[in-house]
Amino acid sequence: MRPMGRLLPVLLTAPLSVLVLAQSTPDPAELRQKLAAIQGRLGQVDQQLASLKKRRKGVLVEIQGIALQRDRAMAQVEGARLRRDQARSEVQNIGREQLRIQGEVQRLQGDLRKQVRWMQALGPLGDVGFYTTFKDLEAWLVRGRMLAWARLQERKRLDLIHRLQGDLAAKEKSLKEVLARLAADEREAAQLQSGLRLQEEKLNTFLDGLQQDETAQKQAQAELAEEALQLERLLSGLLGKPRGEAFEASQVFANLRGELSQPVEGSLAVGFGEHLHPRFHTKTMQSGLLITAALGTLVGAVAEGKVAFADYYQSYGPMVILDHGGGWFTLYMHLQGIIVSKGQILKAGEAVGAVGDTVDGPRLGFEIRHQAQAQDPQKWLKKKYK
């Protein structure tokens, strides 16, 4: 079996979506969730870098290593941007709270001024005068009680104003701290962006050099051929499992030919079969499909199956293999990360992962195998990729 034509779509590992920063105030909970996702992706990159060190050196390993470092830099840039957004959101929230407190203080001060003027107009005794009837005396006593109540309200307003002014001072202190953090986050984002540009230049320089180096191209082709053979051995090993571990689907996979749904919406980047590589002009065998799709789009299982493999696999990157019974397998490659576990049963349409990145942009590698032999996935899909 000749190798897939995967010289350029080498995994960039746990790629990171380009986040569009909202102009309006972002949701703090959403920001925290995105920051947690960035940290998770950084962890995946580090895992793949550690795994890469165990592999035999070669052109593919070198490309993947450079791409991983670029992806790590991208993760750090996105993390810095999110932290900057988080600080900006705090600044806006503090500003709104300051305005609210200032408005409340002004309202209370206005009410207090009106009350003081009213009390001053009544005089110290509330206009005692001479009362000729019991009714007049009773009115005077009522007025005295009103004055006492007004003085109590005056004290409450003063206490509230003092408390609000203390809150305002605390907000101003918090604002200064957040603004200092925001300035630091913006400096960090600028520095990391510069580092990302260097990593991208390094990757492009390496690929440009590879395009001119026939020896390196032949070495890469040999490495791809070896990886394809190793993948066939992996599938053969999955076929050799004890009978009790074999998966029996509710539907016979062979009967689903022409009825399978697409694993992800997208367009065909590279079809099944032999191709002339557009950059290196070498003939390669694509043993499945390379599908262009939006980065991070969920990838669904095309049929009910059992997760037989879920791990990082050489230049295929994060890869999931589903066992559909009867020696049938579907393979999902260049994923964004591993979200399923070995032995897990998935129904048709359930997510196996998300579309990852390659040096050619976001791609999903999708294959159908029977007894380790590659099938043309287009013949199995109800809706063909164009």
Whether 1 shows a pLDDT value over 50: the answer reads no
C-alpha–C-alpha distance, residues 17 and 367, integer Å: 24
Q: What is the DSSP letter of 20?
A: P
Residue-level pLDDT at 298: 95
Q: 317 pairs with which residues across the strands?
A: 313
168-187 burial, b at 16+ Cβ within 10 Å, e below that, comes to beebeebbeebeebbeebbe
The secondary structure element, H or E, covering residue 382 is none
Whether 187 shows a pLDDT value over 50: the answer reads yes
Q: Tokens standing for 56? A: 């035999």
Looking at the chain, the whole-number percentage of residues with pLDDT higher than 70 is: 81
Residue-level pLDDT at 121: 67
Looking at the chain, the whole-number percentage of residues with pLDDT higher than 90 is: 28
20: which residues sit within 8 A by CB, 6+ positions away?
A: none
C-alpha–C-alpha distance, residues 261 and 165, integer Å: 63
Q: Is 91 exposed, middle or buried (0-12, 13-18, 19+ CB in 10 A)?
A: middle
Whether 307 shows a pLDDT value over 70: the answer reads yes
Region 114-138 average pLDDT: 57
DSSP 368-383: EEETTEEE-GGGTBSS
Region 102-130 average pLDDT: 69
C-alpha–C-alpha distance, residues 358 and 290, integer Å: 11
Residue-level pLDDT at 17: 32
DSSP-based three-state secondary structure for 109: helix
For the four alpha carbons of 10, 12, 13 and 14, in that order, the dihedral sign comes to negative
Q: 346 pairs with which residues across the strands?
A: 305
pLDDT band for 146, please (50, 70, 90 cuts): low
229: which residues sit within 8 A by CB, 6+ positions away?
A: 1
For the four alpha carbons of 291, 295, 301 and 302, in that order, the dihedral sign comes to negative
260: which residues sit within 8 A by CB, 6+ positions away?
A: 302, 303, 380, 381, 382
Average pLDDT of the chain is 81
CATH architecture type of domain 243-379:
Distorted Sandwich (2.70)
Helices (H), 287-354: none
Residue-level pLDDT at 2: 40
pLDDT in tens, 312-370: 999 899 999 999 998 999 999 999 888 999 999 999 999 999 999 888 889 999 999 99
Whether 209 shows a pLDDT value over 60: the answer reads yes
C-alpha–C-alpha distance, residues 266 and 237, integer Å: 32
CA distances from 242 to 237, 238, 245 (A): 11, 10, 6
Whether the predicted model's global pTM rises above the 0.85 cut: no
Residue-level pLDDT at 7: 43
C-alpha–C-alpha distance, residues 106 and 63, integer Å: 64
Q: What is the DSSP letter of 371?
A: T
C-alpha–C-alpha distance, residues 74 and 192, integer Å: 8
Angle at 41 between CA 234 and CA 5, to 5 degrees: 40
Region 122-150 average pLDDT: 56
pLDDT in tens, 237-287: 888 776 556 687 778 999 999 999 999 999 999 999 887 765 555 677 889
Q: Are 17 and 82 in contact (CB under 8 A)?
A: no
C-alpha–C-alpha distance, residues 231 and 228, integer Å: 5
Residue-level pLDDT at 140: 54
Angle at 32 between CA 200 and CA 91, to 5 degrees: 95
Based on its alpha-carbon atoms, the radius of gyration of the chain, rounded to whole angstroms, reads: 34
Residue-level pLDDT at 130: 47
Residue-level pLDDT at 310: 96
Region 78-99 average pLDDT: 86
pLDDT in tens, 148-186: 766 777 777 777 878 888 888 888 888 888 888 888 888
C-alpha–C-alpha distance, residues 182 and 169, integer Å: 20
Whether 5 shows a pLDDT value over 80: the answer reads no
Q: How many Å separate Cα 59 from the centre of its chain? A: 30
Residue-level pLDDT at 153: 72
pLDDT band for 13, please (50, 70, 90 cuts): very low
